Amino acid sequence: MKIEEEIKQKQFKSEYHKAMVNIIFTYNWLIKNQVEVLEPYGITLQQFNILRILRGQYPKPSTIKLIKERMLDRMSDCSRIVEKLRAKKLVERHLCVKDRRNVDVLITKKGLALLKKLDKIFEKSDKNLIALSDKELKTFNKLLDKLRRKNLKIKNRDYLNTADRLNNSTHKRQLNHKHLYNFF
């Protein structure tokens, strides 16, 4: 549906402006779908994404640090999310003997089985979700990549570890917008 109808706005002041709204609207539309699919299975989007990261490493365990990096996000709550997954018996945690600062996180059989089930669900729901042909998808991806040519002053990567974070204290709590997930 055209974005103008979706949000009941007669017209935008420019194609540029329309593109901004369109990205935001489409993002919400997309996330909403994912969340609704996950809801009956009792896990959140964040938990789901961590499970997929763990599967990506399986049978190798992942440290909290590795998970954080894959989430491409500051994700200070990573420890706590992993703890919730552990409470559901979807992951195991072991102290790493080589470097006792690390915690090895491993997805369990139960976790793998859940992902397998969800794969099928998503395959079905996703197939009809993004309604573009393969050729259109390519154009679309190219445009998105080009769109972001200009780098932001503060890059995501600057915040990947505590040290960097502490060196930059110019900003206060304002970033209420965390959904930088890594799908794979």
Partner DNA sequence: CGTAAATATATGTTATAACAGTATAAGTTA
Partner DNA sequence: TAACTTATACTGTTATAACATATATTTACG
> Half-sphere exposure of 180 toward its Cβ, with a 13 Å CA cutoff?
18
Among 11, 14, 133, 169, binds DNA (CB under 7 A): 169
How far is it, in rounded angstroms, from Cα 184 to Cα 181?
10
Q: Which residue has the tokens 């409470």?
A: 87
Is the CB of residue 85 less than 8 Å from the CB of residue 48?
Answer: no
Is the CB of residue 56 less than 8 Å from the CB of residue 105?
Answer: no
Site for DNA in 117-156 (CB under 7 A): none
Binding range to DNA, per CB under 7 A, among 7-15, 114-122, 147-155, 169-177: 169-177
| Cβ-based nearer residue to DNA, 55 or 65 | 65
Binding range to DNA, per CB under 7 A, among 13-21, 96-104, 115-123, 149-157: 96-104
DSSP 8-state symbol, 104: E
Picked from its own copies, DNA, none, the partner binding residue 76 (CB below 5 to 8 A depending on kind) is DNA
How far is it, in rounded angstroms, from Cα 106 to Cα 96?
12
Site for its own copies in 25-54 (CB under 8 A): 25-33, 35-36, 38-39, 44-46
| Cβ-based nearer residue to DNA, 91 or 115 | 91
Site for its own copies in 48-107 (CB under 8 A): 72
What angle is formed at CA 70 by the lines to CA 165 and CA 171, rounded to 5 degrees? 25
| Binding interface with DNA (CB under 7 A) | 44, 46, 63-65, 68, 73-74, 76-82, 84, 93, 99-103, 161-163, 165-166, 169, 171-178
